[in-house]
Amino acid sequence: MTTKLLILATAACTGLLACASDDVAGPKFTSEALVAPADAEGATVKVMTRNIYLGFDIDQVIAGEMGPEEGIAALMATWFPDRAVGLAAEIAATQPDLIGLQEVVTWNIGSQEMDFLNILMATLAAFGLDYEVVANNTTTDITVPVGPGIRYRDHDVILARDDDRIELGTVTTEIYGEYLSFTQFGVLPGTRPLGFVAVEASVDDVPFVFASTHLETQNYPDIQIGQTKQLINWTKHQKLPVVVVGDFNSAANDDAPDVSYTGTYRRLLIPGTFEDLWVMAHPDEPGLTCCYEPNLIEAEPGYDQRLDLILVDKAGARLMSDVTATIVGRDPIQASQPRWASDHAGVVASFYLQAPKH
């Protein structure tokens, strides 16, 4: 199974996985505060949230429920270069201005490495798409010292489309103060920090903050609630409208399994906090986004939860209109395993944002 990793490591900049050219200008960055000019009226903005799936459940290896060779086999079976083609096709079809990515993993197995971000960026370039990594927050870093040795590093990432309409400013990366502590094999201590990443952005001279996050799973609701409080507190200190996307791991639909309810989604919608763009666009539709089986081989998705959200703070909601929202990732990418691009679907939203007045 490690043969695929070796092939990928030695051919990462050839063929389909050709690396992006160094002469691509990329989005414009500025060190100055982003402020709407006096004559700015508004802009149409399109954003995406996409959990790209780490490939298998490493928690099972950590708990000793799955052997390391089984874990490696599962990772190979959900082969990310195949899935990256499906993800790139979604991006090509929707052309978001900004994309928030979760579970952007770097795997090290023995001496071999599989870097999901490098693979995805190369695949986007192969599709002729000009996107750039504008923010990258490394959160979890776990080494499982069994078999050949498995290291798992998780990242929250923001991509921006190369477009003269888009200008970028200050980047923020933050790790949540509350996170999971665990024991590997009943002996070795470990932690799973999570966080968020954000960038100040301006589209057609209309500034706002775009953030992406991944909260702890439903199995640890108290930790998840603590992370949510930190995110809300950070949002309230921003001077610009804030759009937050991500995998919140808290069901937004009333008919989800009981285990999926954590209180987080309701807390996010406390008056004066956030509004949900899917609800704004489709108040009577469930918009389910999760989940496929981990092996990504089933013929039909078993969605029963809406975990992947695009939210806007109350200041932004007052300036927002013409909201549309679409689910992506519901179509298979191929007939064989991996049949799906991720174990989650993604969400793309478009909206008109009035320029904030000062």
What pLDDT, in 10s, does the model give residues 290-316? 999 899 998 887 899 999 999 999 989
d(CA 167, CA 24): 15
Domain ranges of the chain: 43-354
d(CA 60, CA 38): 55
Neighbours of 199 (CB within 10 A): 24
Contact 296, 337 (CB under 8 A): yes
Give me the pLDDT at residue 270, please: 94
Residue type, 163: D
pTM (2 d.p.): 0.91
CA Rg, the chain, in Å? 20
Bridge-based pairing of strands 42-51 and 98-109 is: parallel
DSSP secondary structure letters along 291-343: ---TTS--SS----B--EEEEEEHHHHHTEEEEEEEEE--S-S-SSSS-SS-S
**CATH of region 43-354, choose from 3.60.10.10, 3.20.20.70, 3.40.50.2000, 3.40.50.300:** 3.60.10.10
Bridge-based pairing of strands 206-214 and 242-247 is: parallel
Which of these, 131, 128, 108, 112, lies nearest to 18 by C-alpha position? 128
Give me the pLDDT at residue 37, please: 67
Strand partners, 4: none
d(CA 73, CA 1): 6
- Cα 33 from chain centroid (whole Å): 26
Question: CA dist 212 to 71, 99, 117, 258, 308, Å?
Answer: 28, 8, 15, 26, 11
Question: What residues in the chain have per-residue pLDDT under 50?
Answer: 1-25
Neighbours of 172 (CB within 10 A): 16
Give me the pLDDT at residue 117, please: 98
